[in-house]
Structure 1
Amino acid sequence: MRIDLTGKTALVTGSSSGIGLAIAQGLSACGAAVVITGRDDDRLAAAAATLDGDVRSVRGDLTTVEGHSDLVAAVPEVDVLVNNLGIFGHADPLDISDDEWRRYFETNVLTAVRLTRHYLPGMTAKGWGRVQYISSDSAVVTPAEMIHYGVSKTALLGVHRGFAKAAAGTGVTVNSVLAGPTHTGGVETFVRDLVGDGPWEDAQREFMTKHRPQSLLRRFIEPEEIANMVCYLASPLASATTGAAVRVDGGYVDAIVP
């Protein structure tokens, strides 16, 4: 199969590093014009330098009204929207304040809702579009050490299903990607906070054994492996997949259906 996104414009939020950057790179390699976002000019410039072809950078904080408004003013329409922006961290469930709960919901859920609300009408008017949400295995298997994160990712599953119904019959597909434990810089820090320092291979093995024993892959997923699924779902080849939570979780979720 050949994934060709020539002539399509793709917006990937939270894409100056990690999974978001890998997704942007993958979509760019498939021929899409790519818009990346982030809050730091230097990181955006470094990220943009890794992409070939047509790439634009829009700096701003999408959790604010100003950041959202600046982005949609700079990029009024897109063909592919990948809602990747998110935060994560571990905390004692009994110590998570109301403000922290709101911060996770605002960042991980409402930024995606606002962008979908803006871009979906343009897609349906054209009769083609792709909306994706980067969710997590934590949406289904809520980890005790990060329930605020898990609940925010669960919310995205309801969001994508509802918007998929809103786009029914229009030629626009709306899906979530359930990403499993993925190797990024932020995750390395998270892992070392839980299991301590030492060689990464040892830390990874200890974390997977103690904290993610359900994984059938038994290693961290690489960001490019998440990007591969996103590129497929963004393509015409995935025209019959909508309203779905598609797993790239290394077999972590113990279920025989998606």
Structure 2
Amino acid sequence: MHDDDERLVLDPDAVLGSPLDDLEAIDADTTPKPDPEAMLQLLDSPDPQQRMLAARAFCDIQDERAIPQLIHLLRDRCPLVRVSAAYALGRNPSITAVDALIAQLADWNGYVRKGVVWALGNCHDERSLLPLIDALKTDIAAVRLWAASALGQMAAVGYEATIAAIPPLIEALRRDPAAVVRSNCAWSLGQLCRELPSNVVYATAVDALIETLVEDPDLGVQADAKASLLKIGDSRALQMIETLEQEGFL
């Protein structure tokens, strides 16, 4: 676990937003989008500030020509460039970037890893499954938060990936010390269960969400568990919610 990076999580509310919140947004109403041709050239600039700005531009621009250079910038000596490249690859997902993103999960910088797990989720590739599970189990809270969300996208990868993602999400839902991480686990379980048939894995996930709804000490986590159960539409869960509401527990 990257214990030294716990200092990066200074504001508990900050981890609730998108990873792209770390980057200053371009005002679409007053500022035209950057010129892709110019930004492609700046990705190779000797000035790290220019490389960073160019990589950030591809958070707003979708252009597959940038992908090889963004992959290269994942290993830039400047962490701000690496962060920007990770976010840009999340906006320009490609199977060609998956191996490089996985390798960058070893980055010493927690902000970089946070962007990397978000990008991996957007790539919808089975190679990211085990690294994301490991990040959910071992990394800092801000990274675990987005690893949980990324695992919620495994439904787009396939049935086997969905089944494999559910047990670690249940474990983190029950045990993670950070409420925001547990909340994202609840959201992801809701996403995954909507794609599953009514089998043992599905039932176990629904049970875990019901347990969280009743027992989690954080009201926000309870609310997210309830929202996921409502989206799943499981009849047993809906009856439980109705009963709890009638008895004044919700």
**TM-score between the two structures when normalised by the length of structure 2:** 0.35
Considering fraction of residues, name the structure with more strand. 1
**TM-score between the two structures when normalised by the length of structure 1:** 0.34
Higher relative contact order (CA 8 A, sep 6+): 1
